[in-house]
Amino acid sequence: MGRVNFGGIVKDVCLAYVPEIAVGDYTIVHVGFALSKIDEESAQKTLETFREMGLLDEEFGEPEAVETVKETT
Amino acid sequence: MKYLTEFRDGELASKLAREIRQIVTRPWNIMEVCGGQTHSIIRNGIDQLLPEGVQMIHGPGCPVCVTPLEVIDRALAIAAQPGVIFCSFGDMLRVPGSAKDLFRVKSEGGDVRIVYSPLDAVNLAIKNPDKEVVFFGVGFETTAPANAMALHIARRQSLHNFSMLISHVLVPPAIEAIMESDENKVQAFLAAGHVCSVMGYWQYPPIAEKYRVPIVVTGFEPLDIMEGLRRVLLQLERGESRVDNAYERVVTHDGNREAQRLLAEVFDVCDRAWRGIGVIPQSGWRLSEAYREFDAEHRFAVSDIHAVESPLCHSGEVLRGALKPNECPAFGKECTPRHPLGATMVSSEGACAAYYNYGRFLSVEELVHA
């Protein structure tokens, strides 16, 4: 068992399925069990890809209208 | 919270929405399998950011919703017995059985307890050796490792007063059943990220190939879902049908091998009935021979309980993606979260509850003034 901090709330969590986990790592917890260690490098890479998305369009393309919300039913 | 808030960024969401609009040239129907994703989509209005004609079809990935009525009735029968402490996740307590729900059993004197983890139920069994402690073990591949560990510990400690009422279901056979159905409209899938954190995604390429359907492993935050959609729409527009992983920070190809090893020890694959869908071959887990003694269904002899569904509730069609929650005649009228007709209105992962809780019974004008 280990202690996991959920944005301020600390709970005891079973770490048996993530033997590689170390103090300070981030993890996904479901019903008291850590299921996966979050790959921080991959998280940063994904966010970076999002940030770079459409940069060329923004510089050279037509200015985009704000989001148009589709009618709900 | 780190790695949650960053994936809720509004500015990046509009970039992704713009990318998606540039990709799409035709209408497409995409199913998000998991109920957690359904809630995120409706709560964040992601379906309303999509280009005209791109439809989200909500999948059956709500464990509470697909648990058959007769399993609920069996739970009620066990929970009402004297000397039993019946433990369940909270969602299950308000799901209507044929005559009542677990809350009613509790109010009538049954010892029904909400637990956070199946390990809590194991601890209750250790502390109450004179009681029979039963845990309601429902769920997909995400919940199964926790239940497997609880059973493993109970067996190791020779806990003879602990058992589990099991109704475990599996995602890949459900995807196949949806693709085989005559009424199917689904052209691509967002696979459930947390199921894949356990199982990996090595099971999906044969399905993508057989049905020529793109499958993208997707997370739960708004940006995760939009990225999943972007990747799936790219494939659809190019006529591709591959398996892709858009939740790389959590999911690996192999999944959690430690968990898979214990799952294989504790469970055997079996045919399983899904509420609203029917029996899907090889779509569930039951206890393996070595763990059969922990099966509450046999210990309490409730296998003979059978049930008939109410004709008023259309949750079966909702679970198959054939009907949107707010297209049901009872939605928001006879059926609300306070007085649910079916499990899809109860569960925090149910599509009907998502539509109700996030105001999808109101017109746009009412929403603006709400």
Rounded mean pLDDT, A32-36: 96
Residue B127 CB neighbour total at 10 angstroms: 10
Q: pLDDT (tens digit, 9 = 90+) per residue, B204-258?
A: 999 999 999 999 999 999 999 999 999 999 999 999 999 999 999 999 999 999 9
Q: For residue A56, what pLDDT is reported?
A: 57
Residue B307: inside a domain: no
The reply to whether residue A33 touches residue B258, judged by beta carbons under 8 angstroms, is no
Give the integer Cα–Cα distance in Å for B25 and B17: 14
Residue numbers of the domain that contains B349: 315-369
- β partners of residue B273: B279
Q: Which residue of A has its CA nearest to B89?
A: A31
The reply to whether residue A42 touches residue B50, judged by beta carbons under 8 angstroms, is no
Check whether residue B90 and residue B50 sit in a common domain: no
In chain B, the percentage of residues whose pLDDT exceeds 90 is: 85
At residue B320, does pLDDT exceed 90?
no
pLDDT-derived band at B367, boundaries 50, 70, 90: low
More confidently predicted of B142 and B1: B142
Check whether residue B227 and residue B329 sit in a common domain: no
Give the integer Cα–Cα distance in Å for B190 and B30: 7
Residue with tokens 């109010």: B107
Q: Which two tokens stand for residue B313?
A: 């509730």
Residue with tokens 């590689």: A20
What is the overall mean pLDDT for chain B? 94
Check whether residue B49 and residue B74 sit in a common domain: no
Residue B115, Cβ density class (10 Å: 0-12 exposed, 13-18 middle, ≥19 buried): buried
> What's the gap in Å between the CA of A1 and the closest CA on chain B?
11
Between A26, A33, A54, which is nearest B146 by CB? Answer: A33
Q: For residue B370, what pLDDT is reported?
A: 55
Check whether residue B260 and residue B228 sit in a common domain: no
The reply to whether residue A17 touches residue B227, judged by beta carbons under 8 angstroms, is no
pLDDT-derived band at B26, boundaries 50, 70, 90: very high
Residue B282: inside a domain: yes
Give the integer Cα–Cα distance in Å for B248 and B296: 38
Check whether residue B347 and residue B221 sit in a common domain: no
At residue B203, does pLDDT exceed 80?
yes
Considering its fold, how many domains does chain B have in total? 3
Q: What is the domain-level CATH number for residue B292?
A: 3.40.50.11740
Residue B250: inside a domain: no
C-alpha dist (Å) from residue A71 to B3, B10, B356, B367? 32, 20, 17, 11
Check whether residue B141 and residue B239 sit in a common domain: no
Check whether residue B53 and residue B124 sit in a common domain: no
Give the integer Cα–Cα distance in Å for B38 and B354: 7
Check whether residue B79 and residue B144 sit in a common domain: yes
Write down the CATH number for the domain with range A2-60: 2.30.30.140
> What's the gap in Å between the CA of A34 and the closest CA on chain B?
9
C-alpha dist (Å) from residue B168 to B40, B198, B279, B315? 24, 14, 13, 19
Give the integer Cα–Cα distance in Å for B62 and B21: 29
Check whether residue B268 and residue B158 sit in a common domain: yes
Residue B120: inside a domain: yes
Domain boundary among B245, B269, B291: B245
Q: For residue A71, what pLDDT is reported?
A: 45
Q: How many A-B residue pairs are in contact by the CB < 8 A criterion?
A: 110
> What's the gap in Å between the CA of A41 and the closest CA on chain B?
8
Q: For residue B321, what pLDDT is reported?
A: 86
C-alpha dist (Å) from residue B110 to A42, B77, B116, B164, B180? 48, 10, 19, 17, 42
Asked if residues B111 and B132 have their Cβ atoms less than 8 Å apart, the reply is no
Domain ranges of chain A: 2-60
Residue B305: inside a domain: no
Asked if residues B324 and B55 have their Cβ atoms less than 8 Å apart, the reply is no
Q: What is the domain-level CATH number for residue B30?
A: 3.40.50.11750
Check whether residue B69 and residue B150 sit in a common domain: yes
Q: Say what the ipTM of the complex is.
A: 0.89
Our CA dihedral for B67, B318, B215, A73, rounded to 10 degrees, sits at -150
Q: For residue B257, what pLDDT is reported?
A: 97
Check whether residue B272 and residue B149 sit in a common domain: yes
Rounded mean pLDDT, B164-187: 95
Residue B271: inside a domain: yes
Residue B309: inside a domain: no
Q: Which residue of B has its CA nearest to A5?
A: B1
> What's the gap in Å between the CA of A66 and the closest CA on chain B?
9
Check whether residue B140 and residue B267 sit in a common domain: yes
Between B3, B145, B250, which is nearest A17 by CB? Answer: B145
3-state helix, strand and coil shares in percent for chain B, rounded to the nearest 5: 45, 20, 35
More confidently predicted of B125 and A54: B125
The reply to whether residue B18 touches residue A54, judged by beta carbons under 8 angstroms, is yes
pLDDT-derived band at B59, boundaries 50, 70, 90: very high
List Cβ<8 Å contacts ≥24 apart for B72-76.
B72/B96, B72/B97, B72/B98, B72/B101, B72/B307, B73/B97, B73/B98, B73/B99, B73/B305, B73/B307, B74/B165, B74/B297, B74/B300, B74/B302, B74/B303, B74/B305, B75/B102, B75/B136, B75/B165, B76/B100, B76/B101, B76/B102, B76/B105
Q: How would DSSP label each residue in A8-21?
A: TEEEEEB-TT-TT-
At residue B166, does pLDDT exceed 50?
yes
Residue B330: inside a domain: yes
At residue A64, does pLDDT exceed 60?
no
- For B35, half-sphere exposure in the C-beta direction (CA atoms, 13 angstrom radius) is 27
Asked if residues B236 and B189 have their Cβ atoms less than 8 Å apart, the reply is no
The reply to whether residue B52 touches residue A51, judged by beta carbons under 8 angstroms, is no
Residue with tokens 């490792």: B145
Q: Which residue of A has its CA nearest to B51?
A: A70
At residue A63, does pLDDT exceed 60?
no
Q: For residue A62, what pLDDT is reported?
A: 46
At residue A66, does pLDDT exceed 50?
no
Rounded mean pLDDT, B265-284: 94
Q: For residue A61, what pLDDT is reported?
A: 47
Sign, CA torsion A19/A22/A26/A30:
positive
